[in-house]
Structure formats: C-alpha cells, structure tokens
Structure 1
Amino acid sequence: MRLGLCLSSLLLPSCLVLFSGDALARPSTESVAQSSGQPSGRTAGVPAAAPPADPAAGLQLDPAGFRAVIGQPPAPASQAERDDLAILRWNQRTRTAEGVLLSWHFLNRNLSVFDAAIGTNLQDASPTLYQGLPAFLSRADTLKNQLKNAVARPRPFLSHRDLRPCLPLESGWSFPSGHATWFATAALLLADVVPERRERLLLVGSQGGHVRAYCGVHYPSDVLASQRLAKAISQQVIASPQWQVFRQQVAQDRQRLLVAPPAGLPVLTYASTDSEGL
C-alpha cells in the first residue's frame, strides 16, 4: 500500500487518499459543465414498474473463493498498522465541516448517490435497474459478512481510544468494510450497464469507501481490501447467467440513462484516486 496526500477539492479540502494498484477510479478527465439541477418527478414517458422477481436467484458467491482476495489485515503493532493509524490520526486532525458533511452523504447505501455520476435520476430513468440491482448487491453483502466474521478485526476506535469518529459508531467487525464493498461493487456493476459513465461511477464508488477512513470508522486497509473484493465479486457477477439476463432487461433503458441535463453533466468534485487494472 502506498500513501499520499490528496489534492484539495471543494468538498474534501484535506484528506489522505489511499493509492494502490486496485483503487477504483482515476481523476476525471471529462470536460463537463456545472449542472443547474434537474426537476423532480418521474421522467416523462417512463411507466412505474412493479418490483421485479429476484433477478439474482441462484447466484452463488462462495466465500472460500474470495478469502485470498482480501488477504489479512495488518498485524497489531506492525508497520502496516502504524501506517493505518497515521492516516486516521492525520484525518482526525485535519477534518473540515465540508468533508464530514460529504461523509454523511454516503452513510446510507442508496443507489441514488450515483445519480450525479450518471447524469440522471436513476430511479426514474430505469426502475428495473434501480429495483433489481440490490438483489445482486445483497449477495455481495452476505459474502462480505461471512469474510468479516472469519477475520474478526476490531474497529479502529475500539482498539485505539484516541480516535473519535465523525460518523455513527458501529459494533460489527472492521475488515473488510461493508460500505466500501457496497459502493465499489455497485459502481462496477452500474459501469457494466452504462460504460459511458464508467470513470464517473468508479469515482463515486471509491469515495463511498474512502469516507469510512476519513471519519475513522474503518482502517484504510479495510477500504483497500473492500476494493479488491468488489472487483472480484463484480467480475463473477457480470460473468453469471443471472446478470446477463438482467442486463438485457435493462438494455431498453440505456437511452434514457444517457440523457444528460441541458447544461451538461455535473462536475464531480470528489478528491480523486488512482486506478490501475480495472
């Protein structure tokens, strides 16, 4: 794991970005206009869809096949753990009101957080995608819980009492991060449906994990393990017959998903991370 300061941005003026070979997103190079916002309400011509039957029925994710992907967390008192703690303490000293508020934006696992990345109201533009994708994410969540219980790493604020998280405390195990896994997996699966927005989606998915370390509820190494796990999970899901059928069902909505606001796609001002291998 390599560490480095992240560049200032409007929403995270100071934070420590985690650079690794499997981080999720490169800095955005798209030239886009600042959005003036979209009107609320259902997209014209899009009928309300009934909740679909479980599109992931029969999909099996064996935890044994993913154990090596996440590896082991840093051992207590190791140099790797000291690096983790240095990041957490630096974040704690340099937090800003804007950075904390952004972190709360990712508190709930809701697909609408990707609306700005896609450039539309996801729920309205593709009810099938919005209602069906959580079935696949639920399988990923179950797998993550099994891995968490097997590793049983305590949360950083439980082992190091000087840490004061800026998000609600959680009592579950720390490695890998559930939020980071969910946001990264969601971003990768959405990117398979809308590859034109891949870079933007991965940036949001990555940020959903990084705020967990920014606010001290997870070690940085928890987040990096989650990014590796999300990549492996998404590859297996995308190769599955369940996903291929679901992707075909959603294909009819692609045109609506790609309709950007008249002023252009909103600029994503999240601090960027480097990405290799995605």
Structure 2
Amino acid sequence: MRLVRFALLLALSLPALADDACPLPGATGGPAALLGPYPPAGSPEAAADLAVVLWEQRTRTPEEVARAGSEEELSLEDFAGALAPGFEAGRHPRTEALLARAARAARPCIGTVKRAYARERPYVADARVAPAAERERTFSYPSGHATRGALFAAVLAELAPARREALLRRGAQIGEDRVIAGVHYPSDVAAGQRLGAEIAKALLADRGFQEALAEARALEWCGGAGAGAAR
C-alpha cells in the first residue's frame, strides 16, 4: 500500500523541472564532473572501501538488516521517527508529493553519474560480499538511496526546522545502511550524499518548488513546532 501511494503521488505531482533533465547547472560539467570518479581499482582507497563493506558484513545485526530492508522504497514514512513520536505520514499528502517531485528531479542526475563511471556493485566485484538487500542491476556509484536520503532530509528540514539535526542524521543513516547491507561502498554513499545536497540547493532555489514547499508548510505543518502535526 505504501509503495502504491508513493507511486501515485509521483505520477500526480506537478513537475518542478523537465523529467529528463538534471536540475544541476551544466556549465561546470554536470553531476559527473561535480562528484569526480570513484577510487580506482587497486588503490589504497579502493581497498579501504571494500574493507569497510566486509567489516559491516561481519558485524551487522538483525535489526540493522531489517532497517536497511525497510528503506528499499524511500518516502516520508522513513523519516517519521525523526519528526517526533506520533508523526503520521499519511496526514501529509502535499509533503509526500513534494518528496516524490524531488525524487523525480534527482533520477536523471543519479543516472548520469552511474552511466558515466559504471562502477560495479561490491557483490559483483568481490565474491566475498554477501548482500543483505536486493541485488540491483544498476551501477554502484553514486548511491541513489544516499542521494535521496540527503535530498529528502534537506527538504523536510525546510518544513520542520526544529527537527533539522534529527532529519539530517536520518538522511545520512539511510545512505550508511546501504553499506551495512553490502550493496554500496562508503565512497558511493559519500558521493550520493553530496549529490543529494546539491540537488536540494537547486530545487529550493526553483520558484515552482518554492511555491509547492510554501503550500505544504502552510497547510500541513504547525508554524515553529517542527513536529509535523497536520492542521
């Protein structure tokens, strides 16, 4: 039901920018140039990247695996705990639509970088890696979940400024959980988090997105409370 609702909001939300265009400025080379390449194979940085994945694999707990599994399809519901006890995502349809809109804007940015660098997933590159989440066929760099986690957290922080730190921590955790699950390297996550922050800046400077944000704030969020209680 949650996935169906999010897909519906994604389809109905008005476009902030063209669906096939990354909102980041292209004058400096676009998102691939912004992030630069991942650590090259055989480098100490690449070895450290893999070492962290294998260490997380040895030490991850059932609770961490379950949390990572619950984050496969990100939505407002994944940030409920950071928005205060008792927060109900279903009472914030405009906010859900705003996040769906942000996810749609981020998709071409993420895809551009993945295709530019074509990094293999940890479990493809090394047989020792046993992922605890779905094996995806897309490239590894950058992490799309880390990108959306950082992006969603930044947008929600504009609506609930009193919960900013908790939201940013939650957004970062979503990316880190991808390493715990063995489906991304730490450098994938770091790149995704940077990309998400840059996309958030671009969207928050877009007039149409600003108007949708203001509407969601006025209709669904209590001024100054930051707890996200619906009016």
Q: Corresponding residue for 2:158? A: 192
**Alignment partner, residue 170 of structure 1:** 136
| Offset, 1:123 | 2.6
Q: Which residue identity does 1:111 align to in structure 2?
A: L
Superposition map of 1:255-274 within 5 A: 255=222, 258-259=226-227
CA distance in 2 between partners of 1:98 and 1:57 (Å): 38
Give the structure, 1 or 2, with the largest relative contact order (CA under 8 Å, sep 6 or more).
1
Q: Is the 8 A contact 1:52 1:128 kept in 2?
A: no
Q: TM-score, normalised by structure 1?
A: 0.70
CA displacement at 1:258 relative to structure 2: 3.7
Contact 1:55–1:246 under 8 Å retained in 2: no
- Counterparts of residues 241-260 of structure 1 (less than 5 Å): 241-252=207-218, 253-255=220-222, 258-259=226-227
Pair 76,133 (structure 1): closer, same or farther in 2 beyond 3 Å: same
Residue 181 of structure 2: aligned partner: 215
* 1:147 and 2:113 matched: yes
Where does residue 49 of structure 2 map in the other structure? 84
Distance 1:171 1:194 in 2: 35
Please state how far the C-alpha of 1:157 moved relative to its aligned partner: 0.8
The superposition leaves residues 58-84 of structure 1 with CA deviations (integer Å, 9 ceiling, x where unpaired) of 585146332232221000010000100
The amino acid of 1:101's aligned partner reads A
Give how far 1:97 is off. 1.4
Q: What residue in structure 2 maps to residue 56 of structure 1?
A: 16
Query: Which residue of structure 2 lines up, in the alignment, with residue 71 of structure 1?
Result: 36
Q: Deviation at 1:110?
A: 2.1
Q: Distance in 1 between matches of 2:203 and 2:17?
A: 12
8 Å contact kept, 2:118–2:139? yes
1:239 aligns with 2:199: no
Distance, in Å, in 1 between the alignment partners of 2:182 and 2:12 is 37
Bigger Rg over Cα: 1
Q: Is contact 1:69-1:228 (8 Å) kept?
A: no
Bigger helix share: 2
Change (3 A) 1:220 1:249: same
Q: Which residue identity does 1:56 align to in structure 2?
A: A
**Partner of 1:122 in structure 2?**
89
> 2 CA distance for matches of 1:260 and 1:66?
32
Percent identity (aligned): 32
What's the counterpart of residue 181 of structure 1? Answer: 147
Letter in 2 for 1:203: R
TM-score normalized with structure 2 length: 0.84
2:101 & 2:60 partners in 1: Cα distance? Answer: 35
Q: Which runs of 4+ in 1 moved over 3 A?
A: 57-60, 256-261
Q: Is the 8 A contact 1:55 1:132 kept in 2?
A: no
The 1-side partners of 2:197 and 2:43 are apart by 27
SS in 2 for 1:225: helix
Distance 1:52 1:258 in 2: 26
